[in-house]
Amino acid sequence: MENSNKRTVLITGATGGLGTAMCKELYKDGYTVVGNYHTKEKAEKWMEQMKSEGFNIELFYGDVSDYESTGKMIAEIEAKYGHIDTLVNNAGITRDGRLINMKPEDWHVVINTNLNSVFNCTRQVIQGMIDRNFGRIINISSVNGQRGQFGQTNYSAAKAGMHGFTKSLAMEVAKYGITVNTISPGYIGTDMVMAVPEKVLNQIVAQVPMGRLGGTHEVAHLVSFLASEATSFVTGANYSINGGQHVY
């Protein structure tokens, strides 16, 4: 077992833009960080890149949309690192399109990857957290789960569902020293967002009162804040981080 004196954090969807920033931030803050991946070739390149930058972060395979696959991944992590203290449910995909044109598979794959994954992962770490009287569950939702978005009935439903999950679970496990919170980012400068045509990107930025995209490091800082022991009275909350684009 490695680094048994540190809190262990599992971040799903670790190789994406937000996931990578979270891994780095939490590692720098002294946590033992492990990540989840779905594509082997990308994972190998990612781990090489992290090591070259001085981050010793191991990735474990798991299809978080599948309960059994998720269970095997968590068992592997626990066998090597002892237990998972903090879970960041970050994995997510989009399959955009108006509902009138949406194929059933585009509905189901988004719900399975973005929402059912939250159950699949959390269900299999929560008992250990209860036994140890400590845990942090952090669910990465979206501004579009709060306000809706044209062409994203599947994505918005999944992201709104994440916070419903957060609120109810927060009540169930509060007495065990476990907090459950949601983060709802607006438009963040990930590779995926930066790849859109410049005209579209300018239209997006024009909607943000702050006049810019958010930084992945800014979301990662908020994750680290909620993972800390100092935030033990914060639970069931939804943290908006969107530059003023959606306020309520």
Q: Which positions are catalytic?
A: 155
DSSP letters, 41-80, are HHHHHHHHHHHHTT---EEEE--TTSHHHHHHHHHHHHHH
Structure tokens at 16: 């994406």
Nearest to 9 by CA among 119, 84, 78, 118: 84
CA distance 198 to 213: 13
DSSP string, 197-216: -HHHHHHHHHT-TTSSPBPH
